[in-house]
A and B are shown apart, each in its own frame.
Chain A
């Protein structure tokens, strides 16, 4: 092949690679731009403070769904964060054995299970015995989805702490668990917090596991044993409804949800970056 020809192929392929990046970026800005443009014009204060109204009645908001999403995330965090951090500690600090290898493997398997299947599992073990869709069922489903991400973030940030730090702790006479809690965990905290924030962003955007666990609720509810609304399920129901008023609310809620999730992602990136500069 002549040099000329090789040069042309080279330029062409490098151009195509660059183009791929711009295609990816284009889709991001297209999707976000769409949500922003169509969402922001329909956004008003009533959306955040009002409860849903029947189609045809002007106004109406998603206050119940905003509070529902927060409550569901809170339940999920209470379940997912401690289990995730503790197993991450086991793998990183006690884990020179088969069980740690197994835990890491099974946590990866768990993270690869489609979230709608987690929803079915929770339906069988919580919704059917309780005979009712409930906030607690939705929260537990989201909690399970959180676990693998936090295990991985904890394990990775603990492994980045040099052994000399631990040895310094032992030299002071502290037992292993005190060294982990007082020395290792605090030095790894920014990595763990980054992991928590990005897993929170992820579960706030989850819809599938909530469809038949927490279902939906047209009223403001804080009860754990009752169905509860969430932003994502509300968006799905309103977007696929035939009413224009509801579609408008779906756009505005999408804008709200996208803002929350982007903010969490940017915060977690900022937080993760800061630790390298210290």
Chain B
């Protein structure tokens, strides 16, 4: 009797674990099967052509891939320094008594639903981008192709800014954890040698935690790559490749969100699934890199 209970319970836990594996692998396999018609029709050309036309059934991915990568990189360029600053502030500068309250404030940024970021981005941020930030950047940096042309409010840059706010809580909470792992003796030693507080932070803390910070940045990047609703609402949804950050564009996720429910042609649907497959692979490999960086760093411990 006692053994049967144990067996049933243990097998239940094994079964649940198997279910997770099956779901994850099934997602990958179904994406490949769904993408097959499009892969057969367009081959590798899918990756670097720029046409997306449901009427003539011509599809290709480059504008969406470009939009996905450029908005995520923008998010990282803006979000990473701020997140690191927040991590340093919370571990080294802010008084211990209010530390957990202040870090909860940053965590709450991560709890806001993506569609609410989209509302804010569309109705509050994009007018500011259109009438204030866009003309300002164009006036002083307009000679760089990235800032040429007129801002219409929605576009790559606005999407990048909204994404940068969304990845701050991820990057800052992970790098905060990693910074706090640095042994106290080393920090005190550095201060005792006469370093200023910033020199101690830069040489001892960041030096020690470098790979962890890189890993947290990659995790933030992967979140930005797959973010859908906020980007769909502020990127302008134009399937055109454009170098100016002010121009409207599309990302993989925004294209899927806009077109999937209304895709009638089989090839249209299949091309959207191939886009999803590309996104899956990009996120999978960014996560794999971040794991590799972490494991390499800590394998000695």
Residue numbers of A with Cβ under 8 A of B are 6-7, 9-10, 13-14, 16-21, 23-25, 27-28, 30-32, 34-35, 38, 82-84, 86-87, 89-91, 93-94, 99-100, 102-103, 106-110, 112-121, 123-125, 144, 147-148, 151, 175-178, 180-181, 198, 201-202, 204-208, 211-212, 215, 232, 235-236, 239-240, 247, 250-251, 254, 257-258, 261-262, 265, 269
Give a binary string over B15-49; 1 marks a CB under 8 Å from any A CB, 0 the rest.
11101110110110011001000000000000000
Contact A94 B13, CB 8 Å, known A14-B93, A24-B109, A120-B276: yes
**Interface-facing stretch out of B56-64, B136-144, B242-250, B253-261:** B253-261
Do B93 and A239 touch across chains, with their CB atoms under 8 A apart? no
B284 at interface (Cβ–Cβ under 8 A)?
yes
Give a binary string over B250-278; 1 marks a CB under 8 Å from any A CB, 0 the rest.
00010011001100000000001100100
Closest A residue by C-beta to B9: A177
Do B27 and A21 touch across chains, with their CB atoms under 8 A apart? no
Chain B residue numbers with a CB within 8 Å of A124 are 30, 34, 273
CA distance A115 to B84 in the complex (A): 27
- Secondary structure class of chain B's binding surface, majority of residues: helix
B77 at interface (Cβ–Cβ under 8 A)?
no
Residue numbers of B with Cβ under 8 A of A are 2-3, 5-6, 9-10, 12-17, 19-21, 23-24, 26-27, 30-31, 34, 81-86, 88-90, 92-94, 102, 104-109, 111-120, 122-124, 165, 168, 172, 196-199, 201-202, 222, 225-229, 233, 253, 256-257, 260-261, 272-273, 276, 279-280, 283-284, 287
CA distance A205 to B116 in the complex (A): 9
Do A87 and B27 touch across chains, with their CB atoms under 8 A apart? no
Write the nearest CB–CB distance from B254 to chain A, whole angstroms.
9
Do B93 and A17 touch across chains, with their CB atoms under 8 A apart? yes
CA distance A276 to B19 in the complex (A): 33
Do A257 and B113 touch across chains, with their CB atoms under 8 A apart? yes
Contact A110 B23, CB 8 Å, known A20-B82, A117-B280: yes
**Given A103-B20, A114-B227, 4 extra CB contacts under 8 A:** A10-B198, A99-B14, A116-B257, A124-B34
Contact A90 B283, CB 8 Å, known A18-B89, A20-B89: no
Do B114 and A207 touch across chains, with their CB atoms under 8 A apart? yes
